[in-house]
Amino acid sequence: MMSQPSRMIKRHPLAAFFVLATVLSWWSWPMFALDLTPTPMFGVGPFFAALVVLGVTRGKAGITDLFRSMCRWRVGVKWYAAALLLPAAVAVTAAAINVFVLGAETSTSSAELGGWTSLVPTFFILLLVPGLGGAWEEPGFRGYALPRLQRGRSALAASLLLGVFWAVWHLPFFMTGEDPWSEIVQLVAWTVVFAWLMNNTGQSVLLAMMMHAMSNTISGNFISQMFSGADSVNQAWIRGALWCVVALVVVIVNGPAHLSRRHKATPQAVADEAPSRPAPVAG
């Protein structure tokens, strides 16, 4: 007999995912307040939430589909360029505006942070190790939630809805001062860019993970560390504004319906939540 939680998940799978993603991520918040954990959030929570919901609603096939999307590497070279170079371009441009337009002064040099050679190992650590950085949020938010939010909605509307939840999900980081509140702007705009990337790469979660890891590597762990005080605040606002510009260009060029000029339905986007019933066996 199916348990009550399983019935609830089957009846409201997307709502169940959002609840589980929050619960499985926020459990460390009170422990962080007591200095028992190094972080107020467990960043791999959305991934685990997706596994639970897919396991209940679609079984092994659903979980297999998610892992396949995390390994979907056969996409055009230009999409690898977009995933890796866009975050770097935004971060560097924001720093240039901060320094040359607003007069910010860097409090830490590149050499003191380990130099540019440290970026490659940092990128792969953030990409491959669950819970470090934000890359492992992507299987949940982009791999599970985004395709389902796009059912009956435009890609733009779906991504904005997901962006709002993603910002709320980050609340422990904002409340504890780990991230500035201005990060909300980037998260909402960034979600539109992620939807564009996903819808043009056959729902490749791997590319989304790479973009997230690159942003955390270049911006979070490198360039942003060069600024402090008001200059650091300005850096976050400029970076968020630039991502808004990127998102606006994506919408204008590709259209809000699919954020893709050559939209293709994908198995993940159209798959039923519940596995099909087996045909009766003739007696």
165: its two tokens: 């939840």
- 216 secondary structure, DSSP code: I
CA 5 to chain CA mean position, Å: 27
203 neighbors 266 (Cβ within 8 angstroms): yes
- What's the one-letter identity of residue 21? A
Q: Residue range 227-249: average pLDDT?
A: 96
Q: How confident is the model at residue 72 (pLDDT cuts 50, 70, 90)?
A: very high
Q: Residue range 124-132: average pLDDT?
A: 93
Residues 198 and 146: their CA atoms lie apart, in Å, by 9
Q: How confident is the model at residue 232 (pLDDT cuts 50, 70, 90)?
A: very high
Residues 55 and 62: their CA atoms lie apart, in Å, by 7
Residues 150 and 155: their CA atoms lie apart, in Å, by 6
- Complete DSSP assignment for 258-278: TS-TT----HHHH--SSPPPP
Over residues 239-271, the pLDDT tens digits come to 999 999 999 999 999 999 999 987 654 444 445
pLDDT for residue 267: 44
Task: Specify the length of the chain in residues.
Answer: 283
Q: Residue range 168-192: average pLDDT?
A: 95
DSSP, collapsed to helix, strand or coil, labels residue 224 as helix
Question: What percentage of the chain exceeds 70 in pLDDT?
Answer: 89
Residues 3 and 7: their CA atoms lie apart, in Å, by 6
Distances (CA, A) of 179 to 164, 182, 206: 16, 8, 25
- Complete DSSP assignment for 126-144: HHHSTTSSSGGGHIIIIII
**Nearest 10 degrees: Cα torsion 231, 164, 18, 15:** 170
Closest listed residue to residue 8, CA positions, set 267, 199, 273, 218 = 273
Q: What is the chain's mean pLDDT, rounded? A: 90
DSSP, collapsed to helix, strand or coil, labels residue 255 as coil
91 neighbors 241 (Cβ within 8 angstroms): no
End-to-end CA distance of the chain: 25
Burial class from Cβ neighbours inside 10 Å (0-12, 13-18, 19+) for residue 4 reads exposed
- Complete DSSP assignment for 242-254: HHHHHHHHHHHHH
CA 89 to chain CA mean position, Å: 18
Closest listed residue to residue 210, CA positions, set 144, 138, 146, 143 = 138
21 neighbors 39 (Cβ within 8 angstroms): no
pLDDT tops 70 at residue 64: yes
Whole-prediction pTM value?
Answer: 0.91
Residue owning tokens 């060069």:
226
